[in-house]
Amino acid sequence: ATAAAGALQACIEADVNFHIALAEATHNEILCELYRSTAVHLKKRFSNIYRDTECLLASQPTHRQLLGYILAGDVRNAREAITRILEEP
């Protein structure tokens, strides 16, 4: 909904928070700290490279798939989904 409304900063925040939440779900404190400390830099980088919400909106289905695969315990498809997310522009 946020991406559709064109709120770029809110979309960036939501994307980064999604990945932080995934890291926190692992209960791996090192991974969590890595994501939290990287988040500041990711937000700045995304603010510089994205001029609108188009890419973020386009990646939402893959993010939903990733979450579904994780919840289902489907490691293979979760890996494929995260690879697609990382390869997106």
Angle at 25 between CA 24 and CA 28, to 5 degrees: 60
| CA atoms of 31 and 23, how far apart (whole Å) | 6
pLDDT of residue 3: 59
List the domain boundaries for the chain.
2-87
d(CA 1, CA 29): 31
Decide if pLDDT at 6 tops 80.
Answer: no
User: 33-69, pLDDT tens digit by residue?
Assistant: 999 999 999 999 999 999 999 988 899 999 999 999 9
Global confidence as pTM: 0.81
User: Which residue in the block uniquely carries the two structure tokens 């700045």?
Assistant: 44
Q: CA-CA distance, 35 to 69, in Å (whole number)?
A: 20
